[in-house]
Structures are given as C-alpha cells and as structure tokens.
C-alpha cells in the first residue's frame, strides 16, 4: 500500500513539473518574441509591428496565431524554431530527470523496507532471548531457595537418637520366672543418615539380625528394613508420636490370612526403655503383645 502511494506521489510531482515547464515555456516565448521584434526594427515597418504584437500576446485565439505564422519574417521564424527545439530538449531532459528521481526514490524505499524488517526482527529476537535468560535465572534462584534440606540434618533425625548406644536386653523365657538375655548395638552410619541395629540373642536364642532405619523426607516417615540369620525379611513404616516410636507393617500368616504387625518403643528415658513386638487381627482395633523386651543402657556410642 505504501509503494502505491509513492507511485502516485511521483506521478503528481511529474505533473507539477510539466505544468511549471509549460508556464516557463510561454513566458520564454513572450520574451523571445519581444527580442525578435526589437531586432527587426519595430516602428519602421507597420506590418512587422503588427506581427510582433500578435506574437507577444500568447493568449490570442488560434486564428490570430495562424495569421501570425503566415506573416512571420523568415529570419524571425528561424530563430524561433531553434529556440523551440532547445526548449523541447530541455523539457525532455527535465522529464527524464524527474522520472529518474522518482525511480531512485522507489528503489531506495524498496531497499530500505527489508532492512527495516530485519532490524525489527532482530530487536524482537533480542527481547525474546533476554526474557528467556531472565526466566532461566529466576527459575534457578527459585529452585535454590526451595531446594530440600539435607536429609541427614533434618530435625526428625533426632527422633531415634534415644536408641543409639550399646544395650543389655531382657525378656521373659520359655519357663515361668525365667529371663532370657541378649544384646543390641545401635549406631549411626552413612554420615549420620542411617541408624544401624545389630541384635544378638546370646545364649538364649540363636537369632542374629540387623536392621537399617532412615527418615524419608519425601514421605515424612521413618522406614526400616530388617534381615536375620533365619531368612527373615521385614519392612516397616512409621513415626515418632506422643513420646513413642511406632513402626508398622502388613504381614501374611502361614494360613494366608493378613495380619498387622508393629514395633513399639515406649517408656523412654536416657538409660532404659521398653520395646514390644505386637500383632492385630482386627485391622488395628486391638493389639496383642507377643514379645516384650526391656532395654537397659550399657554404654553410649558416639
């Protein structure tokens, strides 16, 4: 649309130039005619005076102009023809010059348009890249601010601190008034992230077992895995609540029925506590204690 407007503007300028040249042409003819009349000695030949008056007034009618042409002296006619030829050449040159200017203007606009478009595109791409970089930096800062804490240093890690140490264990024997004995060594490993248990039944039972406990920051729960020398494998999930640590699992009895099983650390002090192995067959409504153990600290373990 802008190119069409420029073409119209060039056509308008050419038309204006042509009109100015026509006005200049008539003015030049009038001056030239006066010069021709002066050179032929106006005043001594009445007929020539009349011809000069006709030529001097370019607004006369066509009949007077034809008459003027018939009465023009040979010498004046030659001078006028030469002047008209020069004016035509000048007019032709002026028209060509005007056309050339319009052509150059159109070409310059045509060449400038793609350059302007490229500059706009470059500016838009610069803005997009800047915005993407700013977004990446913002996300990096935000992720750094919201990154989870080191699981080894979260406060919940202290919830199992009471268990760490070397312990003497006692529990009811198979016979009345009989007491069995065992030991348990609890320590932290893996840069403090894991609590490791090493159980021994001593002379009372042949069981030897170990467990690994850690706090899962995603689940916000404690998790433990137990293995022993009798092929046992147990996994537990739980939490420390109301002064007790309870880890629970769902098991399957030999007859295929499901049963809930749990370990409970309770009556906790710095030197002793009670531990019990319990089961529920009614979905946790009631619990039966199957193995109670009393822990008495033997030594602290750093």
pLDDT tens digit sequence for 160-210: 999 999 999 999 999 999 999 999 999 999 999 999 999 999 999 999 999
- Answer yes or no: do 259 and 123 share one domain: no
Tell me, yes or no, whether 103 lies in a domain.
Answer: yes
What's the whole-number mean pLDDT along residues 205-230? 97
Q: What is the mean pLDDT of the chain?
A: 77
- Residues 138 and 166 occupy one common structural domain: no
pLDDT score for 102: 63
Asked if residue 231 has pLDDT above 80, the reply is yes
Domain final residue, candidates 119, 142, 165 = 142
**Percent residues over pLDDT 90 in the chain:** 49
Residues 116 and 199 in one domain: no
Does one domain contain both 159 and 26? no
The angle that helices 62-71 and 46-56 make with each other, rounded to 10 degrees, is 140
Q: For residue 84, tell me if it sits in a domain.
A: yes
The string over 279-289, giving b where at least 16 C-beta atoms fall within 10 Å of a residue's C-beta and e elsewhere, is beeeeeeebee
* Number of domains present in the structure of the chain: 2
Residues 134-168 have pLDDT tens digits of 888 877 776 655 555 788 999 999 999 999 999 99
The answer to whether residue 294 sits within a structural domain is yes
Q: Is residue 162 part of a domain?
A: yes
Q: Are residues 168 and 204 in the same domain?
A: yes
Asked if residue 5 has pLDDT above 70, the reply is no
Residue 149 covered by a domain: no
Considering the domain architecture, whether residues 132 and 258 belong to the same structural domain is answered as no
Name which of 8-22, 45-59, 68-82 the model is least confident about. Answer: 45-59
Q: What is the pLDDT of residues 245-286, one digit of tens each?
A: 999 999 998 899 999 999 999 999 999 999 999 999 999 999
Among the candidates 142, 169, 190, a domain finishes at 142
Q: Which domain holds residue 124?
A: 2-142
The residue among 283, 279, 252 whose CA lies nearest residue 263 is 279
Structural domain includes residue 76? yes
Of 116, 142, 168, the position where a domain reaches its end is 142
* 150 falls within a domain: no
Task: Report residue 131 CA to chain centroid gap.
Answer: 6
């Amino acid at each position: 649309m802008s190119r069409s407007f420029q073409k119209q503007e060039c056509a308008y300028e050419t038309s204006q130039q042509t009109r100015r040249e026509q006005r200049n042409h008539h003015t030049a003819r009038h001056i030239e005619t006066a010069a021709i009349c002066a050179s032929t000695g106006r005043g001594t030949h009445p007929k020539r005076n009349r011809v000069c008056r006709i030529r001097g007034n370019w607004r006369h009618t066509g009949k007077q102009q034809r008459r003027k042409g018939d009465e023009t002296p040979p010498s004046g006619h030659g001078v006028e023809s030469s002047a008209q030829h020069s004016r035509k050449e000048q007019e032709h040159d002026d028209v060509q010059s005007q056309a050339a200017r319009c052509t150059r203007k159109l070409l310059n606009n045509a060449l400038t348009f793609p350059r302007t478009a490229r500059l706009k595109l470059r500016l838009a791409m610069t803005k997009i890249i800047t915005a993407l970089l700013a977004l990446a930096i913002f996300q990096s800062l935000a992720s750094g601010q919201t990154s989870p804490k080191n699981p080894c240093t979260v406060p919940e890690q202290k919830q199992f601190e009471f268990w760490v140490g070397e312990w003497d264990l006692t529990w009811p024997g198979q016979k009345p008034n009989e007491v069995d004995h065992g030991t348990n060594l609890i320590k932290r490993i893996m840069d403090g992230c894991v609590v490791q248990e090493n159980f021994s039944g001593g002379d009372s039972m042949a069981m030897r077992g170990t467990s690994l406990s850690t706090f899962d920051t995603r689940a916000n729960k404690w998790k433990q895995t137990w293995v022993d020398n009798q092929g046992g494998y147990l996994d537990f999930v739980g939490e420390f609540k109301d002064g007790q640590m309870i880890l629970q699992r769902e098991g399957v009895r030999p007859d295929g029925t499901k049963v809930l099983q749990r370990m409970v650390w309770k009556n906790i002090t710095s030197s002793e506590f009670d531990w019990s192995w319990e089961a529920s067959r009614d979905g946790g409504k009631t619990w039966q204690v199957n193995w109670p153990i009393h822990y008495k600290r033997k030594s602290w373990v750093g």
